[in-house]
Structure 1
């Protein structure tokens, strides 16, 4: 069926705690305004019926409504039927059968029927004071507007939830939110839309509710990660935009690659394991010695070029970096190749040079007592692999990572790896993702589940959003220090950096870490392993223990 364009509206307002009459009146006004503007999908924020910051679980129970006959949902159902539109909103739900309170999302269809019903899965600290963890999985429903999935606020910080809906064919993700910080809107919303190639319609509150300040950030984002409409911060209003569901069918990236078809689900098994069976479980409880738990890492933005193809130029810069005290060092992808996208013949030539290069890397590592990640091409049993070899402080080989997600150009000559090893070293637990791997959230997530403290990302970036939208979430989602070393001759050059496990104070990465285009630039940072081991975003909100892997079946399905 050919999809047609439609207009969506994301409402930015503020519910009044415990005042159903006021909140219904507010919703009615916004629905009528949205309909006048031609909107067919209207989205309200989280807990729009009751407000959000309750006194206690008993207070929440007193205010909560059922999805069948509650006052707010009844009003929304009637509005949807009256105007022939879809209306989605967050509500405080009482389930009389389960005797539980849920932070829920509902969407009513054009006839007022309940089209989709969702429970928030990833609960914030205060959520856990009165709500139960969601029990409805990651639902996606067919509508005449397209396939729509619902999620709520913090759910967007868990990449598996968005991804699971995308893999069920979602074209539009509706986010009913109470964003507490601007980065949730400015970075995570566009990042999730970009990495999955889907529309995002996100509605959040603006204003103060007791001790909570909601800055706003309601927006509509297209499948390329571009914000097409947004409500200004600290104001009430609507983000309105035309949505073309067919755009979500285009998952292309680069010249001939695909964000979904390029996945390697057979390698993601760790993402479906119960927390207790993963290496990350319990790491935060293991003692660290403060004087030995700080590591200096560095991204060395140095590689061979057409004009300087001698590997010695790269080795010399790595040597200088080690001399200045860096203990974990990585260079960009294909650092010893004069091109960012080697051909089959160039790859074979590079593979022949690899043993001699690694011997020289070994000498540097042992001379300065550091760990060096050497992005090379290796030949094994007649096959070529895009490898990152880790050489330890004794000059010995710690291990290697073989690139798992290959680009179309690489598939012409390389064999893909099939594992995401995490190496336990004296400088921390280290994982690697290479180039195109970073586009897939599963890569860094597997490393996070594997207990990584530091993730090295040797790269040859091709699109701005790989750095501007994906780098910080890859670090913060997994509470790892991310060391990005990028080439300066790739389609999106430079910008090597180290992202702390808690991200930057400023969410605009071009302000927080201005992009350098200098060949030979070195980006160092001290990393506190204790911060990397602590996988909590905020108290009681563990980025791994709070996952619900039983709902992530689409991630590992062929």
Structure 2
């Protein structure tokens, strides 16, 4: 019978390279301490058996252990059996049948039997010096503590891995990590929990191992993205918290939406295509002319209010273009006083769309810029929440119809089915509108489609939409994200342009403090060459390295 509540512990410590006896003794002490505190799931960091920075592939092979008779593996199994608990840890595994070394995650059940066996999929630069890419997919297992999935460190930077486990019913994700940077813990872990509505138990190291500094960041995060327990940086210890599985069953967001039920898997097909068949394939190898590869973009934080007319909105757009911005985006429903529209208001807005677009087109032609105008489109199938791209000649380049609708929009709008990427004089541009951004699939489809810049007209309702997922939408995909937010929505203001490499400071509220002023303009120069360089670190291409054959749960209806 599944326990709906249990205690979990994430251990923050430091393994000693090549010293099994030391690492076993260390693990034993932490298990005994965690058991005393009532933990039934105990998680250790990545490569806890051997350490991580080997001298060579031969050195790694010398230390790697098998699942059948490895000393660290046998010790953990015995500890699980002795205390009747689940123990998960990263190990360096030699697979004699495949004759390969894997960066492995292993979880033992209460009887000391293997409950889950995982291979790291997204290998960092140094990983590739000695480990083979994972061959076990995204496993999720039933336990008496709920449905649990395992991943390792860098895997958490890849939205598909977390998502594939969530779509298999995972309630708890165990992350065995060697975090190199604080943003990995402070932003990506909570972001993945928030967007998927699952628990995260992440254990990482703290200290120095040869050339690597591990800051720490072991934590337990709830399905709303809130950090419930965390070990301080640069210390050793345990993060302990109570896991409530019922919280993982609640995928609600806003007033009546659901982060999983509202997905549109029938529209995500490009995510499962082999890399060579996608538009992003080889994009970094195509030459650009430097003088023509820099685009000035701007989020224009203005919309109609009782005190601000359509004419005043257009006047601010005109001023922004006059100062040299070449790609401008307005918030959702910029020509409406309200961020939620009734059926009658949506119809009225649709009646004014042609007039508003004509006015936008004059500005675009006057200054030779591109303007993304969020409007209500009337079509044969009904009304759409549409963003129209007007080009520098004043003509329409294309339009995007919002794919993920809020509960309020469903009362009057039809949903789009495509994620078009438009070739423009200022780069390849895609759009995600409002609620679309909650779904990592939206930005992923656009980036796989070759987008350099993603425009995000928004009316944000929750803080974590900006604080947790905005930067990952840019960095995960190596694209610039231009967020234009309303000032009357539940989480107002904070329009921002996020470069493809993110900010030097991971906390967006420090890197780009929220500006609440109606009429604020957030401009930034974007280098398209940086947007087309998809390497996060050497040998780690955020698209070429994806194991698309494991993403079936994401695109399945």
Q: Give me the TM-score of the superposition, normalised by structure 1.
A: 0.99
RMSD of aligned residue pairs (Cα, Å): 0.7
**SS of the residue 1:303 aligns to:** coil
Shift of 1:311: 1.4
Shift of 1:381: 1.3
Shift of 1:424: 1.1
Shift of 1:307: 3.4
Structure-1 residue corresponding to 2:6: 6
Structure-1 residue corresponding to 2:288: 288
Shift of 1:4: 2.2
Shift of 1:325: 0.3
Structure-1 residue corresponding to 2:196: 196
- 1:429-444 mapped onto 2 (5 Å cutoff): 429-444=428-443
Shift of 1:118: 0.0
Structure 1 residue runs of 4+, over 4 Å off? none
Shift of 1:313: 1.6
- 1:157-556 mapped onto 2 (5 Å cutoff): 157-308=157-308, 310-381=309-380, 383-556=382-555
Shift of 1:227: 0.2
Contact 2:177–2:202 under 8 Å retained in 1? yes
Q: Distance in 1 between matches of 2:374 and 2:243?
A: 42
Q: Distance in 2 between matches of 1:4 and 1:77?
A: 24
Q: Distance in 1 between matches of 2:82 and 2:227?
A: 30
Q: Distance in 2 between matches of 1:400 and 1:225?
A: 33
Shift of 1:306: 3.0
Structure-1 residue corresponding to 2:85: 85
**SS of the residue 1:233 aligns to:** coil
Structure-2 residue corresponding to 1:144: 144
Change (3 A) 1:47 1:2: closer
Structure-2 residue corresponding to 1:61: 61
Q: Distance in 2 between matches of 1:55 and 1:314?
A: 62
Shift of 1:67: 1.1
Contact 1:3–1:246 under 8 Å retained in 2? no
Shift of 1:68: 1.6
Q: Distance in 2 between matches of 1:283 and 1:425?
A: 16
Change (3 A) 1:275 1:382: closer
Q: Distance in 1 between matches of 2:110 and 2:259?
A: 33
C-alpha deviations, 1:246-275, integer Å up to 9, x for none?
110000000000000000000000000000
How many residues were matched structurally? 557
373-382 vs 198-207, which deviates more?
A: 373-382
Contact 2:421–2:430 under 8 Å retained in 1? yes
Contact 1:306–1:339 under 8 Å retained in 2? no
C-alpha deviations, 1:70-111, integer Å up to 9, x for none?
000000000000000000000000000000000000000000
Task: Structure 1: state its 5+ residue gaps.
Answer: none
Q: Distance in 1 between matches of 2:148 and 2:380?
A: 47
- 1:95-174 mapped onto 2 (5 Å cutoff): 95-174=95-174
Q: Distance in 1 between matches of 2:398 and 2:185?
A: 39
**SS of the residue 2:398 aligns to:** strand
Q: Distance in 2 between matches of 1:101 and 1:339?
A: 57
Shift of 1:382: 5.2
